[in-house]
Amino acid sequence: MGESVREDFDTQRHAPCSFAARALASMPMSPPNHVTKLFIEGLVPIDTLPGDEYTDQENVSASRLEPADLVRVPGGGFLMGQEDARDDERPAHSVTVGPFLLCRFQTTNAHWEAFRRATMRDKPEFTCPTQPVTSVNWFDAVAYCRWLSKAWGRHFRLPTEAEWEFAARGGLERKLYPWGDDPPESRPDYAARWREGPEPVATSEPNGYGLFDLCENVHEWCCDWYDPAYYAASPLENPPGPVTGKRRASRGGAWRHHVKIARCAARSSIPPEFRYSDYGFRLAADVA
* pLDDT value for 214: 96
Q: Cis omega before residue 91 (within 30°)? A: yes
Residue 57 lies in a domain: yes
Residue 1 lies in a domain: no
Residue type (1 letter), 66: E
* pLDDT value for 267: 98
CA distance 212 to 208: 10
Residue type (1 letter), 255: W
Cross-strand bridge partners of residue 108: 132
From first to last of the 288 residues of the chain, give the pLDDT tens digit: 333 322 222 333 333 453 333 333 333 333 333 333 333 333 223 332 222 222 345 555 777 889 999 999 999 999 999 999 999 999 999 999 999 999 999 999 999 999 999 999 999 999 899 999 999 999 999 999 999 999 999 999 999 999 999 999 999 999 999 999 999 999 988 988 998 999 999 999 999 999 999 999 999 999 999 999 999 999 999 999 999 999 999 999 999 998 899 999 999 999 999 999 999 999 999 997
For the domain that residue 196 is a member of, what is the CATH number?
3.90.1580.10
Residue 3 lies in a domain: no
Residue 7 lies in a domain: no
Residue 66 lies in a domain: yes
Cβ of 256: how many Cβ atoms within 10 Å? Answer: 18
Residue 5 lies in a domain: no
Quote the number of domains for the chain. 1
* pLDDT value for 288: 78
Residue 228 lies in a domain: yes
CA distance 224 to 269: 10
Nearest to 106 by CA among 280, 284, 287, 285: 280
Number of H helices, E strands in the chain: 6, 10
* pLDDT value for 59: 58
* pLDDT value for 258: 86
Q: Find the domain containing 258 and state its range.
A: 15-286
SS3 of the chain: the string is CCCCCECCCCCCCCHHHHHHHHHHHCCCCCCHHHHHHHHHCCCCCCCCCCCCCCCCHHHHHHHCCCHHHEEEECCEEEEECCCCCCHHHCCCEEEEECCEEEECCCCEHHHHHHHHHHCCCCCCCECCCCCECCCCCHHHHHHHHHHHHHHHCCCEECCCHHHHHHHHHCCCCCCCECCECCCHHHCCCHHHCCCCCCCCCCCCCCCCCCCCCCCECCEEEEEEECCCCHHHCCCCECCCCCCCCCCEEEECCCCCCCCCECCCCCEEEECCCCCCCCEECCCEEECC
Residue 4 lies in a domain: no
